[in-house]
Chain A
Amino acid sequence: MEKQHNWPLWEIFIRSKQGLDHKHVGSLHAADAAMAIENARDVYTRRMEGVSIWVVESKYIHASNPDDAAAFYDPANDKVYRHPTFYDLPDELKHM
């Protein structure tokens, strides 16, 4: 078996404050999940960026294929009726 020279890659998600979502901020190398969280603390929160960290080993992220983009996303272009823009809103209602 080939000797493993590189630690696996991890995707890092940081929540910047309570109540917000975790957002993807980047990736890093670590030997295991515990080390990935500490590395994320050291690499991605040293300027007060976050209050919570999620890590996922990159191999467990399944991504859509860019070649499918036309079939996946273009059909949504002409479906304006999917946006709820045809309702009459009372004037008192703000922030919609």
Chain B
Amino acid sequence: MNARHLINYSLHLADNALVLGHRNSEWTGHGPILEQDIALSNIALDLIGQARYLYQYAARLMNAGERPAVPGGPVAGAAGSPVTEDQLAYLRDSWDFRNCLLVEQANGDWGTTVLRQFLFSAYQYYFYRELRESRDGELSAIAEKSLKEVTYHLRWSSEWVIRLGDGTEESHARMEKAVDQLWMYTGELFLPADYEQSLAPLGIAVDLAQVQPLWTTRVQEVLKEATLTVPNAVAQKGGKQGRHTEQLGYLLAEMQFLQRAYPGCEW
């Protein structure tokens, strides 16, 4: 039972990183200015790197056990071959993905993208700080390494949110709109899924109740400096349990096209 939860937990963390990394990579070549194009592409690569470690770990757990929960059913790990990180990323369908809804939301304008990054980086920052203390050595090591990257993501995205929020009339209006659009997806970050509820008391998963007040304080500070208002919005949820917004379907269709059309293709 715990093995299945640990697999799902690792996939949840991996999916968060991969989906946001992919969203950011959609900006590559389209950034508002060369320097920021590179900055966001670097962040995309950091996140995809984190996703790889987590998928590799999930795959190892699956291959070690009797594979009670191979997501993607007949495709991933079919015919007795071991599960790989690529299968987990490219051959699962949207209901197998356990990322939170925030990271799958469309890029919108630059303001929406940097706000999404800020809201999630603030979460990842406090989250990884806790995960470093996990009793699971693998997760703790991944958290240790990722925290350095996320510290920069948080700095970079905070500065953009402040710059645009407290910028021109137009940039301020766009940021207000972005906050209204994305805020409803932040509540889910702190609603523990079944695998988190089961692993947190064991000291393996992060207790989200520890992260929430830290996140709230940091986010409110930055939004205040950016002269943006924090809305009251009903929390949308479901992503962590595989119930997604339609956005994820489009993302996966593009991201997975090649492996689905040409299975096993390498280049």
Task: Verify that A and B bind, or say they do not.
Answer: yes
Q: Enumerate chain A interface residues (CB-CB to B < 8 A).
A: 7, 28-31, 34-35, 38-39, 41-43, 46
Complex Cα distance, B21 from A54, in Å, reads 30
| Bound CA–CA A5/B1 (angstroms) | 59
Tell me the minimal C-beta distance from A49 to chain B in angstroms: 14
Q: What CA separation (Å) do A7 and B156 show in the bound complex? A: 18
Task: For A39, list chain B residues within 8 Å (CB).
Answer: 35-36, 38-39
Q: B243 on the interface (CB 8 Å rule)?
A: no
Instruction: Report yes or no: B35 in contact with A42, Cβ–Cβ below 8 A.
Output: yes
Shortest beta-carbon distance from A50 to chain B in Å: 15
Q: Is the CB of A35 within 8 A of B159?
A: yes
| A42-B39 in contact (CB<8A) | yes
Q: Once the chains bind, are A30 and B35 in contact (CB under 8 Å)?
A: yes
- Contact yes or no, A42 B33, CB < 8 A: no
Chain B residue at minimum C-beta to C-beta distance from A42: B39
Chain B interface residues (CB < 8 Å from chain A):
33-36, 38-39, 42, 152, 155-156, 159, 163
Taking the closest CB of chain A, its distance from the CB of B222, in whole angstroms, is 15
27 example contacts (A-B, Cβ-Cβ < 8 A) are as follows: A7-B33, A28-B34, A28-B35, A29-B33, A29-B34, A29-B35, A30-B35, A31-B163, A34-B159, A35-B159, A38-B39, A38-B155, A38-B156, A38-B159, A39-B35, A39-B36, A39-B38, A39-B39, A41-B152, A42-B35, A42-B38, A42-B39, A42-B42, A43-B35, A43-B38, A46-B38, A46-B42
Q: Which residues in B have their C-beta under 8 angstroms from that of A35?
A: 159
Provide the residues of chain B in CB contact with A7, threshold 8 Å: 33
**Bound complex: CA A35 to CA B167 (Å):** 15
A46 CB contacts on chain B under 8 angstroms: 38, 42
- B149–chain A nearest beta-carbon distance, Å: 12
Contacts of B152 in A (CB 8 A): 41
| 8 closest Cβ pairs, A-B complex | A39-B35, A42-B39, A42-B38, A28-B35, A42-B42, A43-B38, A43-B35, A46-B42
